[in-house]
Amino acid sequence: MPPSEREVGVLERLWNGWRSAYVQGLADDTLPIGEGQIGDGQIGEGSVFTRILGSGLEDAQTNIVHRGARCFAILNAFPYSTGHVLVLPYREVADLEDLEPDEAAELWGTVTDAVVAIKQAYAPQGLNIGINLGKPAGGSISEHLHVHVVPRWTGDSNFMTAIANTRTLPEVLTDTAARLRAGWPTVS
């Protein structure tokens, strides 16, 4: 049982502005993207990723950092750290085994390119790469398979995240997107 305010003495309140948008998005299926909102019924059906793709908005507004023939990379709107990229197929599928062979090949090639771009832009000490398949596995948008590519630094999981449920992100998403686009490998 956590200690009460009286036992601790003073309760510190830390502002974590992105969290309310995230919680609201889970409740009403409206997630903020760039300057506007892409929400339920506003721009077609499907996952938030499918709605972003169908929105007609420019990549700079949606924080898409790369488009390939079958897959694309977009910044996580609620990143674990600066530079957190999601790589996914255009086609909305839930499971790895549902990918066509050419989609699977491009997906993993795009993950590799995202690693290169993140290393170029941020020089992290490490990276986490992972997929959450299904809601029980932690997949918040489980209907549209996506691979997380997250840069990591020693000490980045400090007390802010562990104790205060707050992340310190020193850069706005539009700046992060610009840095990653600049570091993205070019096709020769």
| Domain CATH code at residue 149 | 3.30.428.10
Catalytic pick among 66, 84, 144, 146: 146
Domain coverage including residue 116: 63-183
154 domain-assigned: yes
Q: What pLDDT does 187 receive?
A: 65
128 domain-assigned: yes
User: Is 144 assigned a catalytic role?
Assistant: no
170 domain-assigned: yes
80 domain-assigned: yes
Q: What pLDDT does 5 receive?
A: 47
Total number of domains constituting the chain = 1
35 domain-assigned: no
16 domain-assigned: no
Q: What pLDDT does 21 receive?
A: 52
The 3 state secondary structure assigned to the chain is CCCCHHHHCCCCCCCCHHHHHHHHHHHHCEEEECCEEEECCCCCCCCHHHHHHHCCCCHHHHCEEEECCCEEEEECCCCCCCCCEEEEECCCCCCHHHCCHHHHHHHHHHHHHHHHHHHHHHCCCEEEEECCCCHHHCCCCCCCCCEEEEEECCCCCCHHHHCCCCCCCCCCHHHHHHHHHHHCCCCC
Q: What pLDDT does 23 receive?
A: 47
Kindly give the parts of the chain with pLDDT less than 50.
1, 5-6, 8-16, 18-19, 22-23, 26-42, 160, 188
91 domain-assigned: yes
103 domain-assigned: yes
